[in-house]
Amino acid sequence: MICILHGYLLEGSGSNLWTRSIIQSLCRQGKTVHLMCQENHPEIYDFIGTMIDYRQDGSVGTVSKRETPYSGQCIMHKPYIGPTLPVYVWDRYEEFSDVQPMIRLNDEQISTYLENNVRVLTHIVKNYGISAIHANHAVLMSVAAQRMHDLFGIPYAVMPHGSALEYTVKKDRRFFKMASEAFEKARLIFVIGKEIRSRVTAMFPLIDGIETKMTDLNLGVDTELFKPLPRKLRDQHIKALDHALVDIPRGKTELMRSRLEQKLFSEMTQSELMNAIGENSDYNPKNTDKDAEAALSAINWHQDRVILYVGRLISGKGIHLILAALPFIFQKHAQAKMVIVGHGPLREPLEAMIFALANGMRTLVENIVKWGAESEGAGKESFREIQFYFAQLEADNLLDTYFEAAENHIRKDRIIFTGYLKHKELRYLFPSCDVAIFPSIVAEAGPLVFLEAMASGCFPMGAYHAGMAASIDSVAGSIPDHVLELMKLRADKKYIVADIASNVQKALNINEDSKAALRKIAVEKYDWQTVSKRLAENLMPGNSVIRSNSG
């Protein structure tokens, strides 16, 4: 019996998505899986058959119990942890009044959090015949798994993700020590490709045999959820998307964007821009835009060539680089449109940049590029990639032409923001788009959205480094070399914007044979069924079992 430890919710991307996808897949295979996490709405997830609540007073109660549509089920356990949620990078969680980056917690807070989780995990191990534990992240769930190993001899595996390593383990000796001890006693360390493998090796060189502990476990995609469809059926998918958006909470309004635009002028200062942004960004960024359906209706889904970005709206993800490349893309392809899905502090600066490009406010564009990450509250680094791009255009006597193309071809109805969308909505959008771009500047283990694009018949391209490079390399030999090269955006700051502009223009004409080949790879190699089977096979052999007291 497997128990998976995940200290967070199930909604969202990254490790949350990984967790719910793996568990759903195991349930489809007829397995019973125990999950310890903080999800408050188990009814949303059809694979959760039973939810057990562990309260502050020490009592235990079954909150819900139901049949699942699968031959297996997930039994979810929710420990009481109080108002404080330890995280790696701060974000808003409505369920918790005190969200704290782990490195800000004092020793007593860390100890209390661990004790609350260990108490519940001990109950699970003693009462449900757990034979193996899988812990997400280098800390803190790995420490809880280690305690079970020390107490009962339960073997465990840890899957480190980049966020915990970079923002917690690397920055705080307390967490480095915890991760080191957990890794040392773990039977397996699952790594998502070479990028995470190299980070773990470099960070923990003193752990004997750490290389032999590490086992590759690639990311996955639900190929039944994300699948291609003919262009003639795209408008039907968008109608289904509209239906899926009915009655969901809404965020930003078109009025907010219009009010921001009314404040913009070419010679405005940075403080004037930030004030205008602050006055027009009072909304819940994790919700879908109020006017998302109307914005998407500007696309002719039968004829237009649609470019897609899905991800956080932060400079580290490179969304601003796509916008900088659009003037020449739009000039070349009169029917090209851009859809931007996601939330983040860069949204309003991006909207300002789009308006400035469209309205000949060259000074404001250049200033936004110069102010860079400061406009999203993420440091003072300029958008160097765009500065290099502009410098090269000027050297080629094309910078004036660029700004003319922007003024002639950038329009609000060609660059569409939707706000945040979940998988149940993205399943309709991915197959309705032609090209998806993920130009992340920071090294990533491998974005799941890349695989979702592949499975959907939407041609993916990404910054060719770290885990993204591994995902791209995995399709080599299955598509023509010249098509493979279009997927690669040089990660070098001097070239990435130019590569986006050049490669997208060509990728919008990719034939269906290449997209079908990518879909085939997604099914054969990356389907969650394949990934979850590998997880279970590696976790279970030779494990001892603590016998169940209650069945």
Note the pLDDT tens digit of each residue in 204-230. Answer: 999 999 999 999 998 899 999 999 999
- Indicate if the pLDDT at residue 164 is higher than 90: yes
Once rounded to an integer, what is the mean pLDDT over residues 28-52?
96
Write down the pLDDT at residue 519.
97
pLDDT band at 544 (very low <50, low <70, confident <90, very high): very low
> Does the fold of domain 231-526 match that of domain 2-220+530-539?
yes
C-alpha 284/C-alpha 550 separation (Å) is: 44
Whole-number percent of the chain with pLDDT over 90: 88
On whether the CB atoms of residues 38 and 31 are closer than 8 A, the answer is: no
Once rounded to an integer, what is the mean pLDDT over residues 72-77?
98
Note the pLDDT tens digit of each residue in 389-434. Answer: 999 999 999 999 999 999 999 999 999 999 999 999 999 999 999 9
Write down the pLDDT at residue 193.
81
Length of the chain: 551
Q: Residue 547 has what DSSP assignment?
A: P
Whole-number percent of the chain with pLDDT over 70: 98
Question: At 481, which helix (H) or strand (E)?
Answer: helix 481-487
Long-range contacts of 234-240 (CB under 8 A, 24+ apart): 234/301, 234/302, 234/431, 234/432, 235/301, 235/302, 237/301, 237/428, 237/429, 237/431, 237/432, 238/296, 238/299, 238/301, 238/428, 238/429, 238/432, 240/428
- Indicate if the pLDDT at residue 183 is higher than 70: yes
- Amino acid identity, position 453: A
Its CATH class, for the domain covering 2-220+530-539, is: alpha beta
Burial category of 316 from C-beta neighbours within 10 Å (exposed 0-12, middle 13-18, buried 19 and up): middle
Once rounded to an integer, what is the mean pLDDT over residues 109-135?
97
Write down the pLDDT at residue 551.
31
pLDDT band at 369 (very low <50, low <70, confident <90, very high): very high
Note the pLDDT tens digit of each residue in 458-474. Answer: 999 999 998 899 899 99
Among 82-86, 375-379, 429-433, the range with the most confident prediction by mean pLDDT is: 429-433
Tell me whether the omega of the peptide bond preceding residue 9 falls within 30 degrees of 0, making it cis: no
Write down the pLDDT at residue 546.
38
On whether the CB atoms of residues 521 and 453 are closer than 8 A, the answer is: no
- Indicate if the pLDDT at residue 32 is higher than 50: yes
Write down the pLDDT at residue 377.
86
Question: At 292, which helix (H) or strand (E)?
Answer: helix 292-296
Note the pLDDT tens digit of each residue in 248-299. Answer: 999 999 999 999 999 999 999 999 999 999 999 899 998 999 999 999 999 9
Write down the pLDDT at residue 442.
85
- Indicate if the pLDDT at residue 444 is higher than 90: no
Note the pLDDT tens digit of each residue in 238-250. Answer: 999 999 999 999 9
Residues 6+ apart with CB under 8 A from 512: 457
* Segments making up each domain of the chain, as ranges: 2-220+530-539, 231-526
Tokens of 293: 């359906």
pLDDT band at 162 (very low <50, low <70, confident <90, very high): confident
CATH topology of domain 231-526: Rossmann fold (3.40.50)
Write down the pLDDT at residue 467.
84
Taking phi over 0 as left and psi of -120 to 50 as alpha, with beta for the rest, 45 belongs to beta
Write down the pLDDT at residue 472.
94
CA distances from 545 to 126, 131, 152, 187 (A): 10, 4, 9, 15
Q: Residue 288 has what DSSP assignment?
A: B
pLDDT band at 543 (very low <50, low <70, confident <90, very high): very low
